[in-house]
Amino acid sequence: MIAFAPAAVLLLLFLVSVRADRRRFRNAVLLGLTLIWTSIGVLFLIPSLPPLLGVVAVALILLVPALGTLVLAGFLVGNGITMLRREGRSPANLLSLAAGTGIFGLIGLVAYVADRGSPAMDAAVGGLVLLVAYVSFLFVCFLAYAFLYARTPVRGDVDFVVVLGSGLLGGERVPPLLASRLEKGLRLQAAQAARGGRVPLLLASGGKGSDERVSEARAMADWLLAQGAAPELVQLEDRSRTTDENLAFSREVMEAEAGPDYRCVVVTNNFHAFRAAMTARKAGVNGQVVGSPTARYFWPSATIREFVAVFWEHRVVNLVVCGAIAAATAVAAVLAG
């Protein structure tokens, strides 16, 4: 069982880190490393397993990820086409199509180079594969932990339900994406009241964009009032332009209203929940983040966009690692040539 020692240590670090704060990206990385070392431990055990069980273990650890990569690439290409049809040709809507095409392209490049017999080319493509593997590892970590984070219940009563704004339709109307957040906020408020707790304030957070007639907070508040929310239980934060400002300015409102010991829950869409939680931690917001439903076809591209943002937020470490891989690849290609 010594083969599982690294996985056990990493699991312990993961649990300690999550207990300290669920909103850190390092939790995602520790979870990914735990799964990798668990897989390595299983591979060491294969010689001592019954033949059928050994075959199953190898298939799960090696074959399933390989086939899963092909399935994922096909799914992303299909989703990208759907995004173009339904949402238009903006760069953000091209992300899933670009990712799926890139996976197929890399597979084709590896197959092509394998028959060339060029050590320098092999080294260059090997470096590219390592680079993609590093980014893919981080993406899988992000995806797996975001999935777990979104399913962690909020315990106890809160003083505020903060609903983060998004763009308005026609500069004044709440779009379906934002309506989903507001509906979730109303349900959280009603659920706390139903179990006998104090009724939390709904804090609509969002300023007025250059192409908007009213602030997002005002449009959100009007939507909530139209749905039957009590006016005295709806509050506005109407200065913010970004998620960072949403959370920083909402924190100021909550501290002014209830003092530094307030508790809150922040509502956004499910694809945005983990990154918003990371931002909330940096802003010093005392609360967790929950996600509201998003159209299924919209989720893949939106999730990739969230990962790109997280990757860039940690750009110092990521660029150092990517630079080291690129430098090592260049040296290996020169030596091979």
Residue whose token pair is 């399935």: 71
Which run of H or of E encompasses 111? helix 95-114
Q: What is the pLDDT, as a whole number, of residue 337?
A: 66
Per the listing, tokens 């939390």 go with 200
Least confident of 25-34, 90-99, 323-332: 90-99
Contact (Cβ atoms closer than 8 angstroms) between residue 227 and residue 186? yes
How many angstroms separate the first and last alpha carbons of the chain?
A: 43
pLDDT of residue 167: 82
pLDDT digits (tens, 9 = 90+) for 164-219: 998 888 888 899 999 999 999 999 999 999 888 789 999 999 998 877 889 999 99
Please tell me the predicted confidence (pLDDT) of residue 255: 95
- 13 pLDDT band (50/70/90 cuts)? very high
Buried b (16+ CB within 10 A) or exposed e, 148-168: ebeeeebeeebbbbbbbbbeb
Q: What pLDDT shows up at residue 66? A: 80
Q: How far apart are CA 154 and CA 29, in angstroms?
A: 23
- The yes-or-no verdict on residue 61 having pLDDT over 80 is no
How far is it, in rounded angstroms, from Cα 278 to Cα 273? 9
| Distance (Å, whole) CA 205 – CA 219 | 10
pLDDT at res. 121: 86
Would you say residue 224 has pLDDT above 90? yes
pLDDT tens sequence across 23-32? 999 999 999 9
Cα(64)–Cα(72) distance, integer angstroms: 12
**What phi-psi label fits residue 197: left (phi over 0), alpha (psi between -120 and 50 degrees) or beta?**
beta
Packing angle of the helix pair 119-150, 95-114 (nearest 10 deg): 150
> What share of the chain has pLDDT > 90, as a percent?
61
Q: Print the SS3 string covering 248-259.
A: HHHHHHHHHHHC
pLDDT over threshold 70, residue 11:
yes
Which range, of 72-76, 141-145, 285-289, averages the lowest pLDDT? 72-76
Better-scored residue on pLDDT, 276 or 44: 276
Average pLDDT of span 37-54: 82
Distance CA(295)–CA(273), nearest Å, equals 15
Q: For residue 324, is pLDDT > 70?
A: yes
Q: Name the amino acid, one letter, at 30.
A: L
**Element (H or E) spanning 205, and its range?**
strand 201-205
For residues 180 and 227, is the Cβ–Cβ distance under 8 A? Answer: no
**CA dist., res. 294 & res. 180, Å (int):** 8
d(CA 328, CA 13): 30
Q: For residue 226, what pLDDT band results from cuts at 50, 70 and 90? A: very high
Q: How far is CA 251 from the centre of its chain?
A: 23
Query: Any idea what the Cα angle at residue 267 is, between residues 166 and 302, rounded to 5°?
Result: 55
**pLDDT single digits (tens) 100-149:** 999 999 889 888 887 776 788 888 888 999 999 999 999 999 999 999 99
Question: Could you read off the pLDDT of 248-286 as tens digits, one per residue?
Answer: 999 999 999 999 999 999 999 999 999 999 999 999 999
Looking at the DSSP bridge assignments, the partners of residue 310 are none
Going edge to edge, which strands form the sheet with 264-269? Answer: 234-237, 201-205, 160-164, 264-269, 287-292
Rg (CA), the chain: 24
Q: What does the pLDDT read at residue 60?
A: 75
Residue 84: the pLDDT is 85
pLDDT of residue 86: 83
**Rounded mean pLDDT of the chain?**
90
Task: Please tell me which residue, 111 or 12, carries the higher pLDDT value.
Answer: 12
The values of phi and psi at residue 230, to 5°, are: -70, 130
Q: Which pLDDT does position 35 carry in this prediction?
A: 92
Separation CA 29–CA 18 (nearest Å): 12
Instruction: Residue 220: name the closest of 230, 234, 240 by CA.
Output: 234
DSSP category for residue 214 = S
pLDDT at position 1 is 67
